Structure 1
């Protein structure tokens, strides 16, 4: 429920309660004033009537009214004799064939004097009741009822009550409608705040500002505060964005710049290796032919051989480190492309030949575990939209990672298929991982526990693999257990599927 509707309901409820209280007060006040005059008249008449209890010659109790005490002919008079069970009524009551209801002798109301509202037939009356007491026995023997017709007053009060009810309902409805409109107008700046924040939430344009409308009230000051905050956020965001772009440019440029000298180093090292190895072999063969005629010549040859061996070891170390640095630079370059929004040029191609090519070349990777090529028939006839080189890099990352952490056992390549995707399975029997590590393995530079950290690597391979999978609109599943092994399943959406073998 919106604030606008809640506010409207609240003050509508307050208004309704106020109108009810005000209406009840008006009704009670008018009711009192309307009946005060007839009540006064019937009381005055009742007090003027003289009722004489006496015993007639049959020893029966008789109640007699002195007719000279009746001043108003519009009064309706009824005298009840409880002892004899008889009732005397004025002529107007007899003519209308009406009788006032009266309390029985045993009811407490028979001993109370006062006004009551009664209905005789269908006519309303206000009646003043006076109990008749026998002065000899102090016993209530009768009841005098003097009433006045109040039909016009009752009708007026009914109309007043109806008018108050419907008027209150109408006023509340009108107030609710007007209040809803006013609340909407008053809270319109909040809607502007919501629209602006939604644009910021679903986009990167921090230049959006909330329109400033209305007086300098609380909403106006809130709008100014939010606009100021948005301005500072825009400046900060633009600064960070420029810094981030500069960082990406630096990584990309540094990667490009480092590739050239590293390539040169590796080329020269390989050239030196090719040059030193034949010289050493030639030197060894010629020395054997000459017989190393003197001892100094043998010593010189031994020193040359040692220096040559040390040089070759140094060149080998340099070559290994250059190769490792080249791999790191290539990884950084791939991630820099990912951060820069690089879009791969993909084409539709057969998946099985690509995977078989990777499986064949994986046999040449350094490893201590057995390399198994499982059942790949689920990939037959499947075509995917892919960048071939990056897809090969993706598979090699998972395979090399499996070889790295599987010292014994095997690494197996398999396949799966669903209705919409083809799955490439890389399963190993290596050291496995803790389940808590799985959410982090695709983070950059993340290395798992100490035992896994003893292996060489940059911690960038799986990050690059995740980027390649995302670029191919695929997904990856990971199943692992410490000491048992790990299984990765790379799912790629099927672009086309040939019908073969009854499939």
Structure 2
């Protein structure tokens, strides 16, 4: 949305400028009173309708004479060559008007014919820049002077800035006499139009021009200061520096051009310094323009061309600075050609940038086109081929305003880019923090695993050294007895004992390694959903015959709670859960006498959300465990006195069962009464399966 609006604004500005230039050409043909043979008839002018008139035409002209009103009346009547076109420089001439050198002195005279009713009215004359010193008489009275008129360079003091001279005539014919001298620059004479009108209107026109140029110069100066401050804040962006120098340079030039406001407010400024500043600023601003545009579009702006523009501009600046105005003002044509060629190339760069769709190129190009047209018009104005003046000041402001918009947009884009990068950096930092936290947690987990593995390793080595010592000692004793002849070497009784001891050692080693793996989380569990009742009933049927062969009763029991279609589900590793049940059944068989009973009971509790705990009990009617031993039955290698008497187990089955159940998020416990029996119970998480759950696989 922003780009089309900018494009329309730029096109409208160029259109307005073209219309103003066209209007200036039309105004040239407006019916204005013209001075003929030193007289201008203003009796047909209605001053209530006409704000002002320009005193253009043929003025009586006295070359190389400084006449006063008194001496003019004594001079011989002038011939046709004694008239000079105003406005024009002395060097300008045609078939009627003679051409003179621009260095010299002369006197102008013009008679104004007013209406009788305009007598005693308050009028004013607006004297623009006169090259380069003058004195003005009105009706024989010296009314104003600018500088010191002289017949040589040593005698005259140059000074030229616009002045307003009010007067009141007591007769209908008003005589104007102007003495002019110039020995200091390329042009001399009344080269700009002199205006006449009611004093209020002329003052209004003068104040309007002053306000107009002051406003533009102030705006340009503020723009320059603003972008210079931006440059100080971000010195990497040289475009801000170039733009600020260009803006400040043009604002300074405006103070010594047109209304020459600097000299008006500070009359003590020497004329030579003012002219040098005017010319220097024009050249220096062009160099900064080249640097600025190159910084914006380095791919489109040839670096070699830029360097030559700066070199040539530097030569011009050096000449202006080191030589007097009488010398460097003569080279204004070369300077204008340089400026126009630079304008053309910069415009060409903008066209290339527009074709490549660079940011802001269209708006900048339109602003430069406006400035280019105004500069051409200014050259035509100084050549007396255009009547429209002061267009350059406005066009410069428009052009620099477009550049300021582009720079502001560039800074806005940079700021947006910085904000996006900051946001991305913030997210990246947060992500890194999360990753660091995750990696830290992972490392802590690995560290805990390593600690568990190390603890398991140390316990394994300690247990191996402790538990293997007794059977190994027994084996060594029997072997030593055989070697010493105490025991027959081939006695089947002792060989059977040795075989049982090796089996016992193998079982210890196997259980120790398995327990160590479970504790260090090195065994992978394969969890899957299992139907609670069907799974444990399958285990009951699987071990029923083995238990009954030992003359024991094996009973299956299920809680009284009814659940249809066997929808109670546990998520477990079927092999590991079976290992726990087998360990408990093996202990029950070992410590239950013939004719005793072993029960496998399943029960559960469910909450309102369909989840709860399943309870699995292995109960026997064996010898039981004394109360003092109950807290230690799940510790490694723990054996009660009853176990020792019967000589069974290595004391690792229950610790292994405990580790497996805890891995399933369950718990295991024991209840026992000596002489009545023992009940080992463990719990597992259970849930009520949905109707669309997959079929349960029982292994």
Q: Under a length normalisation based on structure 2, what TM-score does the superposition of the two structures give?
A: 0.27
Rg larger in structure: 2
Q: Under a length normalisation based on structure 1, what TM-score does the superposition of the two structures give?
A: 0.37
